[in-house]
Amino acid sequence: MATIGIDCEIILDGTGYFIKPDSYRVKHPRIRKETYRADGSLAYVDLGPGRREWEFTVIARNELLKYDGTSTGVTGETYRTNLHSSYTSNIGTTINFVDPLNTTIAVHFDHYEERVLDLKSQIIAVATGGSLAASYEIRILLIES
């Protein structure tokens, strides 16, 4: 079981992940509406805060370390597979997101974008008979349900 502050920084759909520094953002937009009155002046209606949005980049690298300095024992490819599976299998449903403050929030998985860190070395590893040991950075967007 993943534990924030021990072997991860956030938990998404039951799996713990580390976040790239300076990538964690929370947006809490206001719901508002502007309309023109009959006299041409602008009417502004504030309906209050809308749903929160979390945007961050997950580090899915090989050889990640826990906070105590020991290896997580999880490959970058496994982190990527777990995250991608969560994205593709939860269509129209909510998943649990545990933020860095250890608060559980029901969210919708809205956006998934991955970046392979060093494609050349990964191709060479496979071409020489090694296994694919990919490392990724995955940018995601979650919206409060």
Residue-range domain boundaries for the chain? 10-144
For the domain 10-144, what is the CATH code?
2.40.30
Structure tokens at 65: 């370390």
Confidence of residue 21 (pLDDT cuts 50, 70, 90): very high
- Asked if pLDDT for residue 120 goes beyond 90, the answer is no
Q: Containing H/E element for 86?
A: helix 76-89
- Asked if pLDDT for residue 41 goes beyond 70, the answer is yes
111: nearest Cα among 138, 134, 89: 138
Residue position matching structure tokens 């580390």:
18
Tell me what pLDDT residue 135 has: 87
pTM here is 0.84
